[in-house]
Amino acid sequence: MYHLLFAVLFYFYVNQAGGDAKNYWFTVKENLDIGIIDYIELGFGTYFMYALNYLPSGVMDLTFFTGSIFYALIGYFGFVYLYIVFKERIKYNTYIFKIPLFPTILFLPNLHFWSSNVGKDTLLFFCIALLFYAIKSPKQHIWKILLSLGLAYLVRPHIAAYLIAAFGVALLLDANLKLYKKLFIMAIIVAGFALIFDSLVAYLRIDSFDIDTIMSYSEDKVTKLSRDHTGSSVDISSYSYPLKVFTFLYRPLFIDGLSAFGLLASLENLILIILSVKLLLTNPWRYLKKSNSFVKALIIFFLLGALTFSLILGNLGIMLRQKNMFIPALLFICLWTFSYHTEVKTSNQVTPTN
């Protein structure tokens, strides 16, 4: 019911303010002469969204509200998978101000708002949550892994690349994994990147991966993604790199002069800051280096997102949307570290008996 509430709120919000969600749904209705195959042949991202919505919007002529509720259901499935992952993998719950972090932390409004609408963010939130769930038993859930990576690749190829890199590198760092298995995993990663490299470069519109090209791409993206008519754009060009990362992860804040929606986002970011500070105070490095490959994969995935997306975004609204893909990983890292810290303290307090 909580997630459904945000789906309805987003529906009214996008009807008033406009946005990509309406474009993904109504473009198909207004261009029925373009077939689904045509959209697929045009490429990834937005064109894939048109292809995906072709049947419900163009052929079945469903309303935008119906489409919004359908996408909200997909986002809800993502929360179900996240709930299972947190419950199964985190041993001790943690309380802040006498409030249990689990499952309370899964009610953060921004998580629900951007995963309850017709758009890429909902699909990617579902893909990431599904992969987190399925990776525990790869043989049993191989189709879920393929679905999550395949759908993520069609929506945003670079996110699929991040996920493959994160889990691949984490497995290579696993001390318990035999050498021949590591070599096999490395071969799969290299082959996978070779297969998607051309389409990834075409999607990102990068001619090469030298430093000058990357910096030029970053500056161009900052310029384009800073354009906003709601007053949420920020000039990050003069920011230091750490400040850019902080802005991506923890802004807007109350000092940014915001609307009611911005104040709600600021409250959530304040919660994220509190969790992050508490994480740093636990001296997490001594725990994280002992973590399993799953935790290491989430760390790598989160760092890849935070360190790269902070270079190209200059609009607080877009930051809120884009970081939604990486916040579940941050939340899990925090709660897992708190749990491990409690476990270590508990074991140290046990007095040996004769």
- What's the whole-number average pLDDT of the chain? 85
Name the CA radius of gyration of the chain, rounded: 21
Query: Is residue 352 predicted with pLDDT exceeding 50?
Result: no
The pLDDT score that the predictor gives to residue 354 is 36
User: What's the gap between Cα 169 and its chain centre?
Assistant: 19
- Which tokens is 265 given? 């986002």
The DSSP letter of residue 58 is I
Residue 262 one-letter amino acid: G
Distances (CA, A) of 340 to 107, 110, 137, 326: 23, 27, 22, 21
User: What's the gap between Cα 354 and its chain centre?
Assistant: 51
The pLDDT score that the predictor gives to residue 314 is 65
Residue 261 one-letter amino acid: F
Which of the two residues, 340 and 184, has the higher pLDDT score?
340
The pLDDT score that the predictor gives to residue 163 is 93
What pairs with residue 315 in β-bridges?
233
The pLDDT score that the predictor gives to residue 148 is 95
Across the range 38-54, mean pLDDT stands at 88
Helices 157-172 & 142-155, crossing angle to 10 degrees? 140
The pLDDT score that the predictor gives to residue 12 is 93
**At 260, which helix (H) or strand (E)?**
helix 260-281
How far is Cα 177 from Cα 162, in angstroms, rounded to an integer? 22
Judged by DSSP in three states, 95 sits in strand
Describe the chain by its helix, strand, coil percentages, rounded to 5: 75, 0, 25
Residue 236 one-letter amino acid: I
Across the range 47-72, mean pLDDT stands at 94
pLDDT band at residue 321 using 50, 70 and 90 as cut-offs: confident
Q: What is the DSSP string of 101-124?
A: HHHHGGG-HHHHHTTSSSSHHHHH
- The domain segmentation of the chain, as residue ranges, is 1-135, 156-342
The pLDDT score that the predictor gives to residue 131 is 96
Across the range 251-258, mean pLDDT stands at 76
- The tens digit of pLDDT for each residue in 147-160 reads 999 999 999 988 99
**At 279, which helix (H) or strand (E)?**
helix 260-281
Query: Is residue 347 predicted with pLDDT exceeding 50?
Result: yes
pLDDT band at residue 73 using 50, 70 and 90 as cut-offs: very high
- What is the CB neighbour count within 10 angstroms for residue 259? 12
Query: Is residue 349 predicted with pLDDT exceeding 70?
Result: no
- What is the CB neighbour count within 10 angstroms for residue 284? 20
Across the range 253-258, mean pLDDT stands at 72
The pLDDT score that the predictor gives to residue 310 is 85
pLDDT band at residue 54 using 50, 70 and 90 as cut-offs: very high
Residue showing tokens 């069609």:
154
The pLDDT score that the predictor gives to residue 337 is 95
The pLDDT score that the predictor gives to residue 261 is 78
The pLDDT score that the predictor gives to residue 258 is 63
Distances (CA, A) of 189 to 94, 154, 168, 175, 193: 36, 18, 7, 18, 6
- The tens digit of pLDDT for each residue in 163-207 reads 999 998 998 888 777 777 778 777 877 777 677 666 666 655 554
How far is Cα 271 from Cα 206, in angstroms, rounded to an integer? 36
Helices 157-172 & 293-309, crossing angle to 10 degrees? 140
How far is Cα 200 from Cα 40, in angstroms, rounded to an integer? 16
How far is Cα 301 from Cα 241, in angstroms, rounded to an integer? 19
- Which tokens is 229 given? 């008519």
Across the range 105-128, mean pLDDT stands at 95
Q: Which segment of 37-46, 59-68, 125-134, 198-207 scores lowest on mean pLDDT?
A: 198-207
The pLDDT score that the predictor gives to residue 330 is 96
Which of the two residues, 136 and 237, has the higher pLDDT score?
136
